[in-house]
Structure 1
Amino acid sequence: MAADAPRFGRMIPAMVTPFDDDRELDLDRAQALADRLIEGGSDAIIVNGTTGESPTVFYPQKMDLFRAVVSAVAGRVPVIANVGDNCTADTVDFASKVAPLGVDGLMCVVPYYNKPPQEGMYQHFRTIAGSVDLPIILYNIPGRCVVNMEADTTLRLARDCDNIVAVKEASGRMDQIERIIAEAPAGFDVYSGDDSATYDIMRAGGVGVISTIGNVAPARMKEIVDLCAAGEWERAAAANEALLPLMEGLFTTANPILVKEALKLIGFPVGGVRLPLVDATPEQSATLAQVMRQTGVLA
């Protein structure tokens, strides 16, 4: 079972990456967004994960983004850099360059497209962990990676690698998640990788969420995880139920299209998305605005 006070906290937004009108990095806006997320109660920030459009932000741009966010955050909360790739050697090389930038941890996704077997996943993550001193969060998301990292592999890594300290679980397999929570060594934290599963995962002993909706309504998501952590399950369930339509509504097309649209609707525009993603249609925006009003996120 994870410790009562997880090292990276409980509500960690996977921050979107702001772009300007030319779809170039908008580092000033990224710094302003980091401030907004901290003011909303975020316990840490993930930079350039899936929600941050990592596939279309190339290595030099990632470095610029990490530097800008670390500077803006100025030690107020941990900054976790997503460095995961589907090539082990590239990930090791990139992680070694990111580690000196002042980030507090790294996130690494299960290798995608090349469909490694479980032993390949183990060797991949163990090699990365052995190349850096920073704590590492594993990221299991079969919906994007095609392959699922099984509980045995996650638990093996948790036991064998001191700096593999957590997993972001987005497999949707509660039996697998419950087993990891039950059998993980002390201090290994299990985070929901899906906002809508957070209540159930925390009820099973998970510590919190690496959140998409945390970009849009950080204080509301923070309330849910704090109530869960306090064991106030009825109040947590009510708060979760009230926000659930937006948690689900943000995923009616590919993430983060609607997250960026939602930020625009609440008056904090962060630009559009890079191809091959496309910006929200007027119809998608209207439907999203309706859900945001229904959940009280938009007046």
Structure 2
Amino acid sequence: MSFGRILTAMVTPMNECLEVDYEEAKHLALHLVEHGNDGIVVAGTTGESPTISTEEKIELFKVVKETVGSRAVVIAGIGSNTTEASVTLAKKAAAVGVDGLMAVVPYYNKPSQEGLYQHFRKIAAATPLPLMLYNIPSRSSVNMLPETVLRLSEIPNITALKEACGMMDQVSELKRILPENFAMYSGDDSQTLPMLALGCTGIISVAGHVIGDEMRSMLDAWFAGDTQTALKWHLKLLPMFKGIFVTTNPVPIKYLLKYHGIKAGGVRLPLVDAIEKEKAFLDDLYRQIKG
């Protein structure tokens, strides 16, 4: 199942006291829908999921879905390194009307491939909602192998994968063995075009917060068969794709949202805000791309 071609993993806006700013979350959600996005992932890791509470997540799911309605799909980030916690959150997310779920490979625990299978199988069984898997070995320390994804794809409501392994051979193997209707998304903005070339569906983006329209132009060109224009967009946007990781995500993208009138606020510890050198770099980067 495809959730669309461009979804942004939304940051969680916070006020000066680092409380979740739900009004600004509504503002940001509308901004994303109006600038190239087919959907929004709420309370994923870009949304600081490890440091926001279950109650805050549920309220975010509710207000974002109420705000965008049928204009975009809303995917609830319900992943954690505790299976039971993910199951509980999945049920609560389903109750507030989200369109789907996304769960990251458990971090720190280092489960086996069988452990990964059982983890995601149990989450999928918790609700009838479509579930997107999220593989990001650089953050979780475990790489979910293609054979495990294939097993999971046999579960009817596991319908998609966000793949951020960074290895095109692994992406190729996934496309080779997975059912044709199983959607696969790049989990890294800079890998979007290479993964489209391998037959993938689209991108779960961070850069889409600030260059959603430009990314839409790149994907539209690709799917229209205009590969040269898509390549030109990729090369133009590449500095932004890479530069927004000058320090830990989501610190840079929260900073850059000021250019779009979004008060994204700071980040909760153990993350810290960008330092002046990083801010100067990001300001120059934004002017370079958008100027």
TM, length-normalised to structure 2 = 0.98
Q: 2:138 aligns with which of 143, 156, 160?
A: 143
Aligned to 1:108: 103
Aligned to 1:207: 201
Gaps of 5+ in 1: 1-5
Distance 2:220 2:138 in 1: 28
1:194 matches 2:208: no
| SS of match in other structure, 2:47 | coil
Instruction: Report the alpha carbon displacement of residue 188 of structure 1 after superposing the two structures with TM.
Output: 0.5
Aligned to 1:61: 56
Q: 1:291 aligns with which of 266, 285, 288?
A: 285
Aligned to 1:83: 78
| SS of match in other structure, 1:280 | coil
1:265 touches 1:289 (CA, 8 Å); kept in 2?
Answer: no
Matches within 5 A, 1:249-288: 249-288=243-282
Aligned to 1:123: 118
Aligned to 1:22: 17
Percent of paired sites with the same residue: 47
Instruction: Report the alpha carbon displacement of residue 269 of structure 1 after superposing the two structures with TM.
Output: 2.3
Distance 2:202 2:67 in 1: 24
Q: 2:224 aligns with which of 230, 233, 245?
A: 230
Distance 1:269 1:28 in 2: 10
Instruction: Give the alignment's Cα RMSD to 1 decimal.
Output: 1.0
Instruction: Report the alpha carbon displacement of residue 266 of structure 1 after superposing the two structures with TM.
Output: 4.1
Aligned to 1:248: 242
TM, length-normalised to structure 1 = 0.95
Aligned to 1:153: 148
Distance 1:35 1:89 in 2: 32
Counterpart amino acid of residue 143 in structure 1 = S
Counterpart amino acid of residue 282 in structure 2 = L
Counterpart amino acid of residue 54 in structure 1 = S
Counterpart amino acid of residue 158 in structure 2 = I
Instruction: Report the alpha carbon displacement of residue 187 of structure 1 after superposing the two structures with TM.
Output: 1.5
Distance 1:228 1:151 in 2: 26
Q: Number of aligned pairs?
A: 291
Distance 2:224 2:141 in 1: 35
2:30 touches 2:67 (CA, 8 Å); kept in 1?
Answer: yes
